Structure 1
């Protein structure tokens, strides 16, 4: 039940606070008295987009706040969306002078999508050209559940269903871990088979180390040899200086791979 409305710096309203009691409440007034402004402020609570033009004083933010007395039927919704459940729940919208807006439920920041989901369970604005929530199947079930007074049964079902979804998620995680473990096991078995098929006694460890060193320094070797060939192909070179430079590069290449040792002799 909507129990309080607070509006500040919105449209023509400077500050307004309305306290509502149980039962039918009627707000009347002549055309232009501001009834539609109050309704427009409530639409912000429903999660509608804010407009900076609705701010009366553009130098400060606009605030619309609504307080609801809610029952335990909504506790599961609050827990599922990491919201603080309060029987007196306060929803607040703030419109900043730059046009951006923020939404809060019990002082916890929320997205507009989440605000719409919650407010649909709290408010039904039915105007001349709008369809009532009475035609919404979910809302109909809420009415039936409320009349049947099966709150405890619903909470039990919601708790067990939430636990079921949690267990399903854990099961999926275990399946993924098992798949990754099997994949890793297959790869290690493949490596083991490769090693078992290799005759390690016929391998030359020094030669393997030289090959590894060569591949690790392939870019450096290629770069030095390219510079050597470029020097030898040059039309005008200082022979003595160039040969000294070439010898230095050959020494560097020979140190990186024994295949090029003869080049340094």
Structure 2
């Protein structure tokens, strides 16, 4: 329930700070006084996109803030799921707009995306403006009304889960058929590519190994020359490092008994002597292994040329990528061979899912048929007192192909008198009749969805007198049981039934036009309703009439 509304620097509003209450409240004011501005501010709180032009001229920032009491509505899950602090007694929604075009939204001082603000707003408030009467034209709205009364959310969710899987399988089948057709058209080419890569007998890592062998053989003379020079330096009988170290060790051993200081040197030189002998042996082995074989080099380079050719052809840069390409081609060829088998499997699965979807859709239809009868009866009861004694209201459920909402098509049929056949409500009902139909629908579904706050923006268009009074009674009843209903109205019959009465006024000041809203006391209510009855010249008779209306 909306407890408090604060608006600052929004179009004609300098500052609005007002409390609101549960039950049935009314807002009145002359045309152009600013009632639509207040609704525009509330729309921003509910997630509507902002326009910096709505900021009051000369102001840097606009702030709209609302406080809600959620204690009766069990909405804690939304806050837990979105990691937002939960305060059942005082939920604060705030929207800030800057003249630079920036917009920020907050729930309990936590910055949130506009989509989250809208998600919460849809659970807090329903603003019914005149253009919403056009919803009667829309199949989705009519289906939603039936589903709300049917209380079929669980069954609808079960059906939609199965239908979604059915759609996914349909897509899978279509893609497989298309793939098989494409692959069959190019089967010979795929087979050629696969055989080319298969016959290449590719081995992981061979490219790097071959490139190394090629480099070695092409530089064989340089390699052998360097190895020979090193081998000669280490192992030559005259002046070789190893022979010189051996002589040094022999000389030092001869003095170690008389000069112990060389023992450590002997050990270190001996270690180096052993290492160098090992190095000399390795170099000697390398000298024997390095040999220039033109035939082998041609063979290696020929193999590399083939690898490079394949890599260029298939737009890859490694043998591993060529192997992956070969394996993919093999899979495509196997898929072509096994295509009919896969098709049969998917078709069988699709048939099962379709049968299951039809079964769940039938359950949904039964719930809707039962709900449709209930709606027809209740709408008849609600519309007759609203000045339509011969009204007929019927819901036509017809079968359709499976869709996301089942296999039903809903059409609301209406006739205001016995001589006119039932036709779609949007085609035959007048503006005033549509207003009464929508009010009756809203009254019916408001109890089912337990929406905290409903705002009616001039839903009384096209009605007057006793009918207006009956519409007011309906809204007053809707405002019971802890709910909050607010009606923006031009009719005194409706204004008089509000538990709380607000007035929107426009004032001309030195700084320009401003719009304000205030709560009226008893005397002010009498005068406001009297003015609605008689116009700007309020007569004593109008005042007495106003008092009588308020007594009701």
With the shorter chain as reference, the TM-score category is 0.5 to 0.7
3-state SS of the aligned residue for 2:125? coil
The 1:59–1:39 alpha-carbon spacing in structure 2 relative to 1, beyond 3 Å, is: closer
Q: 1:258 to 1:4 in 2, by over 3 A?
A: farther
Deviations 1:41-88 (A, max 9, x none): 000011110001111146622111111111242112222232222121
Q: Which residue of 1 aligns with 2:96?
A: 94
2:69 maps to which residue?
69
Partner in structure 2 of residue 53 of structure 1: 53
In the TM superposition, residue 29 of structure 1 has moved relative to its aligned partner by 1.5
| Greater displacement, 36-45 / 53-62 | 53-62
Q: Distance in 1 between matches of 2:58 and 2:103?
A: 14
> Structure 1 residues 218, 41: closer, same or farther in 2, change over 3 A?
same
Name 2:114's counterpart in structure 1: 112
Q: Distance in 1 between matches of 2:74 and 2:287?
A: 80
Q: 1:136-175 maps to which residues of 2 (within 5 A)? A: 136-137=144-145, 140=148
User: Aligned match of 1:261 in 287, 290, 297?
Assistant: 290
Deviation at 1:10, TM superposition (A): 1.1
Conserved? CA contact 2:9–2:59, under 8 Å? no
- Measure how far apart 1:140 and its partner are: 4.2
SS of residue matched to 1:86: coil
* Change in CA separation of 1:219 and 1:139 when aligned onto 2, cut-off 3 Å: farther
Separation in 2, partners of 1:99, 1:127: 27
Q: 1:38 maps to which residue? A: 38
Against the structure 1 CA distance between its residues 137 and 110, is the aligned structure 2 distance closer, same or farther, given a 3 Å change threshold?
Answer: farther
For the structure 1 residues 124 and 218, does the alpha-carbon distance in structure 2 shift closer, same or farther, using more than 3 Å as the test?
Answer: same
Change (3 A) 1:117 1:19: same
Q: 1:56 to 1:86 in 2, by over 3 A?
A: same
The farther-off stretch of 11-20 and 216-225 is 216-225
Poorly superposed stretches of 4+, deviation over 4 Å: 134-141, 216-225, 257-260
For residues 184-199 of structure 1, the aligned pairs below 5 Å read none
Q: Secondary structure at the match of 1:27?
A: strand
Q: Within 1, Cα distance between the matches of 2:128 and 2:46?
A: 13
Shift of 1:97: 2.2
- Name the TM-score, length of structure 1 as normaliser: 0.53
How well do the aligned residues superpose, as a CA RMSD in angstroms? 4.2
1:116 Cα deviation after fit: 1.4
The equivalent of 1:209 in structure 2 is none
1:72–1:130 CA distance, 2 compared to 1 (3 A): closer
Shift in alpha-carbon separation, 1:90–1:223, aligned structure 2, 3 A: farther
Cα distance change on mapping 1:52 and 1:261 into 2, 3 Å: same
Q: Deviations over 1:150-193 (max 9, x none)?
A: xxxxxxxxxxxxxxxxxxxxxxxxxxxxxxxxxxxxxxxxxxxx
Distance 2:60 2:217 in 1: 69
Instruction: State the 1:13 CA deviation.
Output: 1.4
Shift of 1:251: 5.5
Aligned match of 1:79:
80
- The aligned counterpart of 1:13 is 13
**Count of paired positions:** 175
Distance 1:260 1:28, change over 3 A: farther
Question: CA separation of 1:49/1:223 partners in 2, compared to 1, >3 Å: closer, same or farther?
Answer: farther
Q: Tell me the distance in 1 between the aligned counterparts of 2:287 and 2:107.
A: 73
For structure 1, list consecutive stretches of 5 or more residues without a partner in the other structure. Answer: 145-211, 229-245
Q: Which has the higher contact order (CA 8 A, sep 6+)?
A: 2
1:194-213 matched pairs, under 5 angstroms? none
What secondary structure sits across from 1:24 in the alignment? Answer: strand
Query: How far apart are 1:221 and its partner, in Å?
Result: 7.2
TM-score (norm 2): 0.27
> Which residue number in structure 2 is paired with residue 169 of structure 1?
none
Distance (whole Å) between structure 1 residues aligned to residue 32 and residue 54 of structure 2:
16
| 1:124 counterpart residue number | 126
Distance 1:219 1:138 in 2: 77
Q: Secondary structure at the match of 2:18?
A: strand
After TM superposition, give the deviation of residue 223 of structure 1 in Å: 11
* Cα distance, 1:85–1:33 mapped onto 2, change above 3 Å: same
Superposed displacement of residue 217, structure 1: 10
C-alpha separation between the residues in 2 aligned to 1:215 and 1:126? 74
Inter-partner Cα distance in structure 2 for 1:47 and 1:4: 18
State whether residues 217 and 291 of structure 2, in contact with CA within 8 Å, keep that contact through their aligned partners in structure 1.
no
CA distance in structure 1 between the aligned counterparts of 2:11 and 2:73, rounded to whole angstroms: 35
